[in-house]
Amino acid sequence: MCWEFSTLHCNLYSVTACECSFRPNLNALECDLARNLFGQHLAQEVVVNALRDFLEADYPSKPLVLSFHGWSGTGKTFLSSLLVKYLYKDGGRSPYIHYFSPILNFPHAQNLDQYKEKLKQWIQGNLTTCGRSLFLFDEMDKMHPGLIDVIVPFLGPSWVVFGSNYKKAIFIFISNSGGDDINEVALKFWRERRDREEIRLSDVESAIANTVISDREHGFWQSEIIKQNLIDFVVPFLPLRPHHVKQCVHSELMQQRLATEEDIVQSVADSLVYIPEDEKVFSSTGCKTVPSRIVYYL
């Protein structure tokens, strides 16, 4: 059942859960995901269970480290935004959430040493201010290999950050790599007429890991984060089916307070590209282009 608690009292998890406007409300998160994140049973399950276990411990043995993988437009950023909404009082506006994009924050390969120093200081400084910080690294497949390893000490169980319990932090990495492997498995299930919900983490986990390890362009190339197994959970995002796209169109129309007429929903969904070309099983851009297309079909 989906309970709509506005806030869950801090002491249900732990007294320390409340520091830095940290107000986890996992029931509400689970509820919102069930209603609004389409076609991602695995991602939903892995993330909610990982958070639940992590938050149960007053003194976790290490920070929680999640790595999101999947094709563009499948909901990786969307899930992240819901996650911060239900973890911090001020949601995405919380000063304890730190977002990094290689293109915005680390654009020039020649400045790698500077970036390393800055990133290390940023993480350490913010963990000292608030152990319950969340660090989100987007587009890991575009990050200069070697850069991310400066945060290795903060991910393991043995580092000491003076004045703070850094082991309460959450790190999320996002990338498209492994997307092809996930899609292959999803397509295989579809061709065998097996239920999509039967896909388990074990069906995709090792293929994603192998792809990431062998990608020289990926920020995790030869990274100690992989070698030392510092990622707690790989979170796979499945390619979206036409009916998921229709759900996205419907949801977008509702958000824009527009009429949700079936012919508009169908027309927008039909305007997307589906692959493989002959079978048209999955949307090639997930739901990403839905908002920008709606205007043409009103």
Ligand X SMILES: Nc1ncnc2c1ncn2[C@@H]1O[C@H](COP(=O)(O)OP(=O)(O)OP(=O)(O)O)[C@@H](O)[C@H]1O
What is the contact surface with ligand X in residues (CB under 6 A)? 36-40, 70, 72-78, 176, 248, 286-288
Q: Cβ closer to ligand X: 82 or 230?
A: 82
Q: Cβ closer to ligand X: 132 or 241?
A: 241
Q: Cβ closer to ligand X: 87 or 294?
A: 294
Contact (Cβ atoms closer than 8 angstroms) between residue 3 and residue 10: no
Q: Cβ closer to ligand X: 23 or 288?
A: 288
Q: Omega into 102 within 30° of 0, i.e. cis?
A: no
Q: How far apart are CA 214 and CA 76, in angstroms?
A: 22
Angle at 33 (CA atoms; ends 295, 197), nearest 5 degrees: 100
Element (H, E) at 239: none
Q: Residue 2, Cβ neighbours under 10 Å: how many?
A: 10
Exposure class string for 263-295: b at 16+ Cβ within 10 A, else e: ebbebbbeebebeeeeeebbbbbbbbbbeeebe
Q: Is 156 exposed, middle or buried (0-12, 13-18, 19+ CB in 10 A)?
A: middle
Which of the 8 DSSP states describes residue 22?
B
* Residue among 51, 7, 2, 60 nearest 31 (CA): 2
The nearest distance, CB 81 to ligand X, in angstroms, is 8
The nearest distance, CB 243 to ligand X, in angstroms, is 12
Q: Cβ closer to ligand X: 36 or 165?
A: 36
Q: Cβ closer to ligand X: 18 or 48?
A: 48
Q: Residue 183, Cβ neighbours under 10 Å: how many?
A: 21
Element (H, E) at 100: strand 97-100
The residue assigned the tokens 């949700």 is 260
Q: Cβ closer to ligand X: 83 or 230?
A: 83
